[in-house]
Structures are given as C-alpha cells and as structure tokens.
Amino acid sequence: MVGFTLALGMVIAGVALGSTTGTAVRGTFTIHFPKGHPASNAPCPSDQFCGVGSLAQYGPATITILDESFDEIAGSPCLAVTRVEQIDLLDGSGSLVTESIGTFCRPGGSGDSHASRFSYGSPGRFRFAFTVDGAESTGVFSGATGAGTEIMDVNGGVGVWHLTGSITTR
C-alpha cells in the first residue's frame, strides 16, 4: 500500500494525565492515495499504510494500519472487515492501539459494476465499531479503555474518516 498520504485531525478534549479520566473522542482523517503518483507520508516508512497528523493536546502523530482483513458476506455486496491500528505520538510519549470490526460497502450498484479489475476510484464506505486495546497501547495511553464508531468514505484517491467515542486514561 504505497503511494498515499494521510492527514489526520483528531480532537481528544480534556485529558488529565495521571488520574483516571473519561474523555470524548472525535476525529477526522483524510487519506490521499493517488494512483500512479508517489506521495510523501514522512516520517512514516514508505512501505506501510501510515499517515501523519496530530492529536489535540498531544501534538504531531502518525497512524498506521497494522493488520486488516476483508471477507465476503454471503448474499451481500458488502465485505466484513477487521482492522488493528496504532497512533504513535511523534514526541515518543505513547501509542494508542485500536481494534475495529465492521463492513465495507459500495453505494448503489457500484460494487457490482462491470468495470475492469484495474479500474480506480470506485466509491465506498467503511463502518466500524472500535475498542481501545490498553494492553497494547503504551506511554500516556497504557491501560486505556474506550470504544466508539468509525466511518470512512472513499472515492478516487481520497478517503475521509470520522471517529467518535470515548477513551479513559489513567
């Protein structure tokens, strides 16, 4: 998954480090993966599905999809999807790991079109429920808990992903 960039915008409001605090999580990720064009997503390695952005109150960060699977859903044009992601703070103070499960569907009949398997840009929507994996998270996110929803709309070489939910840190 080479040749894309990710701009990440997330708002995590009111985190009090050092005590247990529940916090609302809202975020927006914009992913660019232009076909046939190199895209810089430094400081991420070029061979990873990784992008650069920032977490409010934490600063610059990268997000990496560590694992992702797609399976057919019998009788449906949609796919079942699982995903593990890691958000790393660039200052080294912590990594937040989330696990997601949901679907990927194409609107209308676009998933059943007769387009070539090499066509590019077909629209689609990912819908996930996520949970925070505090055992795999580190630093300021070590032991964190939380859950929420993710929706990502893709079209062409652009994806816009919205995250809402809550997180509890210590």
Q: How far apart are CA 30 and CA 9, in angstroms?
A: 8
- Mean pLDDT for 152-170 is 79
pLDDT score, position 4: 28
- For the segment 33-48, what is each residue's pLDDT rounded down to a tens digit? 766 666 666 787 777 7
Structure tokens at 89: 């703070």
Q: How far apart are CA 145 and CA 100, in angstroms?
A: 14
- For the segment 58-95, what is each residue's pLDDT rounded down to a tens digit? 778 777 889 999 999 999 989 999 999 898 888 999 99
Tally of domains in the chain: 1
Is 0.95 surpassed by the pTM of this model?
no
- Phi–psi pair at 75, nearest 5 degrees: 75, 15
| Mean per-residue pLDDT over the chain, rounded | 76
Q: How far apart are CA 110 and CA 131, in angstroms?
A: 30
Q: How far apart are CA 135 and CA 148, in angstroms?
A: 18
Q: Which domain, by its residues, includes 80?
A: 5-110+118-169
- Mean pLDDT for 148-170 is 81
- Domain containing 99 — which CATH number? 2.40.350
